[in-house]
Chains A and B, each alone.
Chain A
Amino acid sequence: MVWNEVECSAKEQLEEIQSSRLIETVERVYTLTPFYKDKFNEMGITPSDIQSINDITKLPFSIKQDLRDNYPFGLFTVPMNQVVRLHSSSGTTGKPTVVGYTKKDMDVWDEVMARVFTMAGTTQEDIVHNAYGYGLFTGGLGLHNGAEKVGATVVPSSGGFTERQVMLMKDFGASVLASTPSFALHMAESASKAGIDFKKSFKLRAGIFGAEPTSKGLKEEVAKVWGIDYHEIYGLSEIIGPGVSCSCKHSELLHIFEDHFYPEIVDPKTGEPIEDGQRGELVITSLTKQALPIIRYKTGDITSLTRSPCKCGRTMVRMESVVGRADDMMIINGVNVYPSQVEHVIAQTKGLTLNYQIVIHKKGHLDKLDILIEVGDNIMMDSIGQMENLKKSIQHNLQNNLYIKANVKLVEPRSIERSIGKAIRIVDKRK
């Protein structure tokens, strides 16, 4: 099943769409945002230099910092009365990244999410259990709208409350599950602990999983334990949210909806293009966004592109499941976190630079975050209560600023591992 026949267009036809949309987008950002105008001027280019999609490499890159520098609405190209939705993700210095959508942007988001659900065979006969978090995070509402668009019945259960979710999936007869892969496994574990017979009790047939890096082994485990088709979804709020690409049932590669989001692979250091089939950093240009168009956005995700035909009939370019990061971004239960953000919170809590280490590990199928903090003479106090309060206030600030739950552990000075004198900041035991 294909939602929109454009997904199966011939190469030339697609390039024509991309070219005209790119020209329009470039014109838009050049005229409406001083940020892009300055960047274009610096590089000595004007919109007239962009005649087709092949000219895209002439354009400047943009990065997450650009969004932060222009917080909150500096890169928007429409007045706020045209913006119908805002989403945001956690930020380094207490300032989050904000993204906005016009009515037309919402239509595009619904459209690409409808394509995703159709890839997973979802129709109005289906009951979609959506366990992605609802709120500022784009996951919950993004999946929700797409499922509604294809006419399915949506259960907006959001995250948490595992046992109740398992009960609802069983009682409502959910046929499609949308969640992070680790939460899907966590629910399976909870269900089997409760002695529920999977084959008899659940009607689940397919799942749309994403928002966190997932090994091949983990995907196979999710597919096997639930006995379902595994569809991987990819997206990021800076581009649209979930719905940039998704895998069909014929392969593990993800079809990118390139009539809306134009992908390139570049060398993360030099920015030079990398040929198809080779890994590099994924760069995306939004071709239809109105509120917040973005030019050549460096996602930080490492992947490769394939243009070989797919059995499903879709002709759109496919990307490999993300294999890593070009920077030190961590993904904790679907939430993006940079070590510098954690450092900032720690420093702010006590007004001191403390020696710390971030340890990520799995408890069952969920990510757990421990933050070890060395107790130096500067924070040593002769009171258990005060030391515990310090711990709690750091935990509280991490939750408030970065939306992550962490367990702060106070450790002795110089007990954090060092490599050539420098403390090792991140230990990821999930791998």
Chain B
Amino acid sequence: MKYAIQQLSIFIENKTGELTDITEILSKNKISLKAINLVDTTEFGILRLLVDDAQSTKRILDNNGFSLTITDVFAVSIEDHIGSFNEVLSLLSENNINIEYTYTINCSKNGAFIFKVNPDNFKEATKALAKSKVKLLESI
């Protein structure tokens, strides 16, 4: 699917050393991390990662006994002016698209906003944004 970026969502328990277990495996396997986003409750959390090759990273983590799932997200380039995020949100809201979650990543230039929407709305959302002046990214 155009503009779909594969994100890994990994289940982790809230206890010391959990994150390093994952980062060590990734670094040993020379996997470059593009984005890291962690959401948690008191007991467990979901670690969301953007990497170069989601499929092979999933395989590696699976083999190391982690539970994870791949989710499609899309990325919009951050324009360097006030109201940039608001522009994107307004476009989505005008099209009645609900955002499940969002976070930002920093890459060499300005970085990007990452959005997760209901899979049923994915095409509609990216179509609306592609037509507008905001810049959707095909990869990161």
Residues in A lying within 8 Å of B, measured CB to CB: 375-377, 379-384, 387-388, 409-415
Q: Are B68 and A412 in contact (CB under 8 A)?
A: no
Produce 1/0 per residue, B61-83, CB < 8 A to A: 01001111101000000000000
Residues in B lying within 8 Å of A, measured CB to CB: 7, 9, 11-13, 39-41, 43-46, 48, 62, 65-69, 71, 100, 116
Q: Are A377 and B13 in contact (CB under 8 A)?
A: no
Give the residue of B45, B48, B67 whose beta carbon is less than 8 angstroms from that of A413.
Answer: B67
Known: A382-B9, A383-B100, A415-B13. A410 touches B44 (CB 8 A): yes
Known: A382-B9, A383-B100, A412-B13. A377 touches B43 (CB 8 A): no
Give the residue of B45, B46, B48, B67 whose beta carbon is less than 8 angstroms from that of A377.
Answer: B67
18 contacts between A and B (CB under 8 A): A377-B67, A379-B67, A380-B68, A380-B69, A382-B7, A382-B46, A382-B69, A382-B116, A383-B46, A384-B41, A387-B11, A387-B44, A410-B43, A412-B12, A412-B66, A412-B67, A413-B66, A413-B67
Q: Are B9 and A380 in contact (CB under 8 A)?
A: yes
Q: Are B69 and A377 in contact (CB under 8 A)?
A: yes
Q: Which residues of A contact B69 (CB under 8 A)?
A: 377, 380-382
Q: Are B41 and A377 in contact (CB under 8 A)?
A: no
Q: Which residues of A contact B44 (CB under 8 A)?
A: 375, 387, 409-411
- Taken together as a complex, chains A and B put the C-alpha atoms of A126 and B134 apart, in Å, by 82
Q: Which residues of A contact B7 (CB under 8 A)?
A: 382
Q: Which residues of A contact B100 (CB under 8 A)?
A: 383
Q: Are B67 and A380 in contact (CB under 8 A)?
A: yes
Main secondary structure of the interface of A (DSSP, over half): loop
Q: Which 8 A-B pairs have CB atoms at the shortest separation, nearest pair first?
A: A382-B9, A382-B71, A380-B67, A375-B11, A380-B69, A414-B65, A375-B67, A410-B44
Q: Which residues of B contact A415 (CB under 8 A)?
A: 13
Q: Which residues of B contact A375 (CB under 8 A)?
A: 11, 44, 67
Q: Which residues of A contact B66 (CB under 8 A)?
A: 412-413
A378 → B minimal CB distance (Å): 9
- Taken together as a complex, chains A and B put the C-alpha atoms of A326 and B54 apart, in Å, by 51
- Closest Cβ neighbor of B40 among chain A residues: A384
Q: Which residues of B contact A380 (CB under 8 A)?
A: 9, 11, 67-69
- Closest Cβ neighbor of B18 among chain A residues: A412
Q: Which residues of B contact A384 (CB under 8 A)?
A: 39-41, 45-46
Q: Which among B39, B45, B48, B67 has the highest number of chain A CB atoms within 10 Å?
A: B67
- Taken together as a complex, chains A and B put the C-alpha atoms of A379 and B9 apart, in Å, by 12
- Taken together as a complex, chains A and B put the C-alpha atoms of A414 and B65 apart, in Å, by 7
Q: Which residues of A contact B41 (CB under 8 A)?
A: 384, 388
B32 → A minimal CB distance (Å): 21
Q: Are A382 and B62 in contact (CB under 8 A)?
A: no
Q: Are A413 and B39 in contact (CB under 8 A)?
A: no
Q: Are A377 and B68 in contact (CB under 8 A)?
A: yes
- Taken together as a complex, chains A and B put the C-alpha atoms of A45 and B31 apart, in Å, by 76
B107 → A minimal CB distance (Å): 22
A48 → B minimal CB distance (Å): 64
Beyond known contacts A376-B67, A412-B67: 11 more, CB 8 A cutoff: A377-B67, A379-B67, A380-B69, A381-B69, A382-B116, A383-B46, A384-B45, A384-B46, A412-B13, A412-B65, A415-B13
Known: A411-B13, A412-B13. A382 touches B67 (CB 8 A): no
- Taken together as a complex, chains A and B put the C-alpha atoms of A382 and B37 apart, in Å, by 12
Q: Are A382 and B13 in contact (CB under 8 A)?
A: no
Q: Which residues of B contact A414 (CB under 8 A)?
A: 65
- Closest Cβ neighbor of B68 among chain A residues: A380
- Closest Cβ neighbor of B48 among chain A residues: A382
Give the residue of B11, B48, B71 whose beta carbon is less than 8 angstroms from that of A410.
Answer: B11
- Closest Cβ neighbor of B69 among chain A residues: A380
Q: Are B65 and A413 in contact (CB under 8 A)?
A: yes
- Taken together as a complex, chains A and B put the C-alpha atoms of A234 and B11 apart, in Å, by 46
- Taken together as a complex, chains A and B put the C-alpha atoms of A382 and B116 apart, in Å, by 10
- Taken together as a complex, chains A and B put the C-alpha atoms of A409 and B44 apart, in Å, by 9
Q: Which residues of B contact A387 (CB under 8 A)?
A: 11, 44, 46
A12 → B minimal CB distance (Å): 64
Q: Which among A381, A412, A415 has the highest number of chain B CB atoms within 10 Å?
A: A412
